[in-house]
């Protein structure tokens, strides 16, 4: 019998809780007590351990990952030295300053750009950054950098969706639309996400299907919008984050069951492989998705990795990418 019950395919590395935006639908930047961030060598060690467990995709996220001074070195280590698929999600405020490292060492760059309307963008993001972000995206494209735009659809941004699509088209960039995630966190659960959600997903899907006929690089997941409208996990799909994801925190600890709630902390000086063999870890993996805090969660990254147990929905998700 296999002693190791976890075979993760995804490494979710929250580089930092620091952020230079204050997005109204996010709760990370609201955290008051920031953990001491792990050193470069400590994170490299964690990434190797995660790879040894089977993690083949690493996503660098935050907070804002570009705020880490060693990000370029970590991206290079992940993509070139370990050789795993390396993704980065950024708000692009610092994209111009880190573009060399990102373009060389990132397999998939995703830039959050919800709406091509200055007032709405700045209100949603909580800072006056529209001009900077838009300029940085445009300049990166002039340098030949490939990226995906990520657009969160809210009541406000939906009213400007045509302009946002036109911006993506002008740069020949893929644009991925999604509903507002609901991400409960153990340290803070304060956002305006619920009030910002569109009431009628059918209107969104109809609009996106029509627009995709004209611009093939529009991407959205019909099933995910339906999943959202049904309340998230514990309805049709049960969360599998504990079995599929290694959630590395800014301080180098690994959280079980997921990046957002910690029922078991594997400290940075503890071996991952040994920790996952403990009875406590096995129990958490078995019970993942059944706790009260799971019921309100609908975050896309945990939804996607959970589809591994739902082949029908996984096939539909893949088809939605093309």
Q: Is residue 1 part of a domain?
A: no
Q: Is residue 4 part of a domain?
A: no
Assign 196 a pLDDT band (cuts: 50, 70, 90).
confident
- Read off the pTM: 0.94
Residue 4 has pLDDT above 60, yes or no: no
| Exposed / middle / buried, residue 59 (Cβ in 10 Å: 0-12, 13-18, 19+) | buried
Q: Is residue 279 part of a domain?
A: yes
Q: What is the CATH number of the domain that holds 297?
A: 3.20.20.70
Q: Is residue 3 part of a domain?
A: no
Residue 269 has pLDDT above 60, yes or no: yes
Q: Say if CB 277 and CB 209 are below 8 A apart.
A: no
Q: Is residue 137 part of a domain?
A: yes
Strand order in the sheet with 254-257: 218-219, 175-179, 148-153, 108-112, 85-90, 57-61, 10-14, 245-248, 254-257, 262-266
pLDDT digits (tens, 9 = 90+) for 229-266: 888 998 789 999 999 999 999 999 999 999 999 999 99
Task: Please state, in angstroms and rounded to a whole number, the distance separating the CA atoms of residues 259 and 11.
Answer: 10
Question: Based on the structure, what is the number of domains in the chain?
Answer: 1
Residue 3 has pLDDT above 70, yes or no: no
User: Cis peptide leading into 257, omega within 30 of 0?
Assistant: yes
Question: Tokens 């960039």 belong to which residue?
Answer: 173
Q: Is residue 134 part of a domain?
A: yes
Assign 6 a pLDDT band (cuts: 50, 70, 90).
low
Assign 295 a pLDDT band (cuts: 50, 70, 90).
confident
- For residue 121, what are the domain limits? 10-319
Provide the pLDDT for residue 124.
94
Provide the pLDDT for residue 1.
36
Q: Residue-wise over 275-306: b if at least 16 C-beta within 10 A, else e? A: bbeeeebbebbeebbebebbbebbbbbbbbbb
Residue 115 has pLDDT above 60, yes or no: yes
Task: Please state, in angstroms and rounded to a whole number, the distance separating the CA atoms of residues 95 and 115.
Answer: 18
Task: Please state, in angstroms and rounded to a whole number, the distance separating the CA atoms of residues 297 and 49.
Answer: 28
Closest CA to 239 of 170, 291, 177: 291
Residue 151 has pLDDT above 90, yes or no: yes
Assign 2 a pLDDT band (cuts: 50, 70, 90).
very low
Give me the chain's average pLDDT, please. Answer: 93
Provide the pLDDT for residue 40.
98
């Amino acid at each position: 019998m296999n002693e190791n019950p976890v075979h993760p395919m995804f490494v979710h590395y929250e580089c930092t809780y620091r952020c230079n935006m204050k997005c109204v639908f996010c709760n990370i930047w609201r955290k008051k007590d920031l953990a001491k961030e792990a050193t470069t060598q400590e994170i490299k060690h964690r990434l190797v351990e995660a790879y040894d467990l089977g993690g083949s995709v690493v996503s660098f996220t935050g907070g804002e990952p570009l705020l880490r001074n060693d990000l370029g070195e970590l991206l290079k280590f992940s993509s070139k030295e370990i050789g795993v698929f390396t993704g980065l999600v950024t708000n692009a405020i610092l994209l111009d300053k880190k573009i060399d490292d990102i373009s060389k060492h990132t397999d998939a760059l995703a830039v959050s750009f919800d709406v091509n309307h200055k007032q709405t963008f700045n209100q949603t993001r909580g800072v006056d950054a529209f001009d900077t972000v838009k300029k940085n995206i445009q300049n990166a494209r002039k340098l030949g950098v490939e990226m995906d735009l990520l657009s969160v659809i809210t009541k406000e941004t939906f009213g400007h969706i045509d302009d946002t699509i036109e911006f993506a088209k002008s740069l020949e960039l893929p644009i991925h639309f999604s509903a507002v995630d609901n991400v409960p966190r153990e340290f803070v659960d304060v956002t305006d996400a619920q009030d910002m959600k569109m009431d009628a997903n059918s209107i969104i899907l109809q609009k996106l299907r029509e627009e995709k006929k004209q611009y093939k690089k529009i991407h959205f997941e019909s099933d995910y919008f339906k999943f959202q409208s049904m309340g998230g996990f514990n309805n049709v799909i049960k969360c599998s984050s504990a079995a599929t994801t290694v959630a590395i925190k800014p301080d180098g600890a690994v959280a079980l069951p997921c990046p957002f709630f910690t029922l078991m902390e594997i400290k940075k000086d503890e071996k991952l492989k040994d920790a996952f063999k403990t009875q406590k870890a096995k129990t958490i993996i078995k019970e993942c998705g059944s706790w009260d805090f799971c019921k309100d969660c609908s975050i896309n990254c945990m939804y996607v990795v959970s589809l591994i147990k739902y082949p029908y929905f996984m096939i539909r998700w893949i088809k939605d990418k093309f």
